[in-house]
Amino acid sequence: MTKKTDVVIIGGGINGCSLAYQLAKQDIDVMLLERQHLCSGGTGRCGAGIRQQWSTKENAELAIQSVKIFEQLDKELNAEIGLRQGGYLIAIHDEKELKQAEKNVALQKSLGLQVSVIGPDEIQKIVPILDIKGMRAIAATFCPTDGHADPFKTTDAYAQAARRHGAKLQTYTKVTGIKKKKNTIECVVTNKGKIKTSTVINAAGPHSKEIAEMINIKLPIKPLRKEILVTERVQPLFKPMVISFTDGIYFSQQEGGQILGGISNPNEKNGYFSDPTFFFLQHMAQTLLRYAPSLNTVNVIRQWTGYYDMTPDARPILGEVKGVSGFLQCNGFSGHGFMLSPMVTKLLTEYIVDGKTSEILHNLSLDRFTDKNIEKEAYVVG
C-alpha cells in the first residue's frame, strides 16, 4: 500500500467515490480507504431517490444543482447510471401541511425549480393507482424532474472514473486511528499500515462519528435503522415516487416493474440493529394498500435494512472542522446522501483544490450546532 498521499478519503460509498473522482481529476494524489467493499454502507442499501423538494434552502440548492450534474453524468463518466426522472409526488393531508408545502414551493421556485401544488384530480391523473380517499390526501406537490438512479451503477461509474484519473481505491482496509501533530493531520492508521497525509475526508456514513472521535472531535450523529422492501415485477403502473411525511411512507416503481419502498417505524431507537422486522413488513403492506389497494396481490420478494446517519437538524455536516486543519466532514446526510452527493462533493473538492468556500459549506459546518435555533429540515421521512 502507498505510504504517502495528499488526501485520504475514508469510506467507499457514493460520497467517497465521487470525491475520489473529482479530486483525482484535478490532479490531486488521493487514496480512498474502505473497510469492506464499495457500496457496503448506506449507498448499497438505499432507494436512491432524487428529490429537489426541500424545506431548507441549503438542501434545496444542493439537490437542484445535483440534478443538473446527474443529468449529464452518463456522458461525463462514460457509463450508465440508471437515471429516471419520473417526478416526486408529496402527499398533503391537512391544512397545516398545505401551508408548509406552499412555503416550500415558493422557496423551491425562487431557486428555479419547476414544482407546483396540485389537487386530487391531478394526483389521480399522475398516479392512477392511488386511492385519494384511502391515502387521506387533500392535495400534493409535484416536481417532474425528481426521480431516482441506480446506486451501484452510479458509485461504480465514479469509482472507475476515479481510477482512470489515478486515484487509489483500497478496499478491505479499515481505518483504526488518525494521528495529528498539534493542529494538523500527520497520518491515518489502518489494519494494513500507516499512510502519511495532511488531509482527511470523513465520508464513513454513520461511522463518521467514531472516525472523528479518533482525534477527539464530537459529531452529533446517531445511526438510525431504516427498512426497505422490493416486490416482484409487475406491469408498468406509475412513474413518480409517492411520499408522505405524515405516514412516513415512500414508494416508486422501478424500470423493471418492481415496487420499491419503505416506511418509518415511529418506535425505532437509535443504534446499530441490523435485523429486518416483521413489524415493518406488516406496517408497510397495510399502509401501501391504503394508498394503492390494487397492489394487494403483489408479492414482496426481499426486505433489508440500512442506517441513516441522523443529525439534530437532519442536514449534512460538511467542510473543515475548527481546531484540526485538514480534517473535513462529508457525513450526517440523514437519509439524503445519495441525491445530494454530486454537488456536496463538488463544493468540497473546490475547497480542497482552490480554498474556495461557499455559503452552503459555511451554513452546514459542524459549528452550526452551537446555535440553539438551528433551522431543521422539515421534509424528512424520519
Ligand X SMILES: Cc1cc2nc3c(=O)[nH]c(=O)nc-3n(C[C@H](O)[C@H](O)[C@H](O)COP(=O)(O)OP(=O)(O)OC[C@H]3O[C@@H](n4cnc5c(N)ncnc54)[C@H](O)[C@@H]3O)c2cc1C
User: Which residues form the interface with ligand X (CB under 6 A)?
Assistant: 10-16, 33-36, 40-43, 45-49, 174-175, 203-205, 207, 226, 228, 262, 306-308, 333, 335-339
Distance CA 112, CA 122 (A): 22
List the grid coordinates of 122: 391531478
Instruction: Cell numbers for 156, please give them.
Output: 461504480
**DSSP structure string for 103-158:** HHHHHHHHTT---EEE-HHHHHHHSTT--HHHHT-SEEEEETT-EE--HHHHHHHH
Closest approach of Cβ 236 to ligand X, in Å? 20
Minimum Å distance from CB 248 to ligand X? Answer: 12
Q: How far is the CB of 227 from ligand X (least distance, A)?
A: 7
User: In this complex, which beta carbon is closest to ligand X, that of residue 10 or of residue 132?
Assistant: 10
Tell the residue number behind the cell numbers 450523529, with chain if given: 221
Q: Which is nearer to ligand X, 132 or 287 (CB)?
A: 287
Q: How far is the CB of 205 from ligand X (least distance, A)?
A: 3
- Contact at 8 Å (CB) between 196 and 213? no
To the nearest whole angstrom, how small is the minimum distance from the Cβ of residue 237 to ligand X? 19
Query: How far from the centroid of its chain's Cα atoms is residue 123's Cα?
Result: 26
Residue 99 C-beta: closest distance to ligand X, Å: 26
Helix ranges restricted to H, the chain: 14-25, 57-71, 73-77, 95-110, 120-126, 132-135, 151-164, 208-213, 278-291, 337-354, 359-363
Q: Which is nearer to ligand X, 132 or 242 (CB)?
A: 242
Q: Which of these, 210, 196, 221, 161, lies nearest to 19 by C-alpha position?
A: 161
Cβ nearer to ligand X, comparing 120 with 382: 382
Cβ 182 to ligand X shortest distance, Å: 24
**Which position has the grid cell 391515502?**
135
Comparison of 104 and 154: residue with beta carbon closer to ligand X: 154
Contacts of residue 370, defined as CB under 8 A and 6 or more positions apart, other chains included, come to none
| Cβ-based nearer residue to ligand X, 132 or 188 | 188
Q: How many helices (H) and strands (E) does the chain have?
A: 11, 19
Q: Which is nearer to ligand X, 42 or 240 (CB)?
A: 42
Output the smallest distance, CB 305 to ligand X, in A. 7
C-beta closer to ligand X: residue 24 or 48: 48
What is the C-alpha to C-alpha distance for residues 251 and 260, in angstroms, rounded to an integer?
A: 6
